[in-house]
Amino acid sequence: MDEIEEMRSRHQLREHQKPIPHPRLRFFLNVAFLIAAVVGLIWYFVADHQTGTIIVLVGMVFKFIELVIRIFKL
């Protein structure tokens, strides 16, 4: 019986949660961050350190924008 009550309370909590703001935009920003991070790391170790660092930093900008959207629920 305790499991059933726990499942009900979890379900009720989910019903009261707000929907995720801009899910497609956040998904795009996360994908852009991941691609930039991987490409930047590969570039850093294979070719030029400075260019690789810049690519990773650009990816971090995408992640920061996603973070702001998520935290402030814009």
Q: What is the DSSP string of 1-24?
A: -HHHHHHHHHHHHHHHSPPPSSHH
pLDDT tens digit sequence for 21-56: 788 999 999 999 999 999 999 999 999 999 999 999
- Whether the CB-CB separation of 29 and 45 falls below 8 Å is answered with no
What is the model's pLDDT at position 35?
97
Q: Is the pLDDT at 18 greater than 90, yes or no?
A: no
- Whether the CB-CB separation of 55 and 39 falls below 8 Å is answered with yes
Output the six-digit token pair for 54.
Answer: 């810049």
Q: How confident is the model at residue 74 (pLDDT cuts 50, 70, 90)?
A: confident
- Whether the CB-CB separation of 57 and 23 falls below 8 Å is answered with no
Global model pTM greater than 0.75 = no
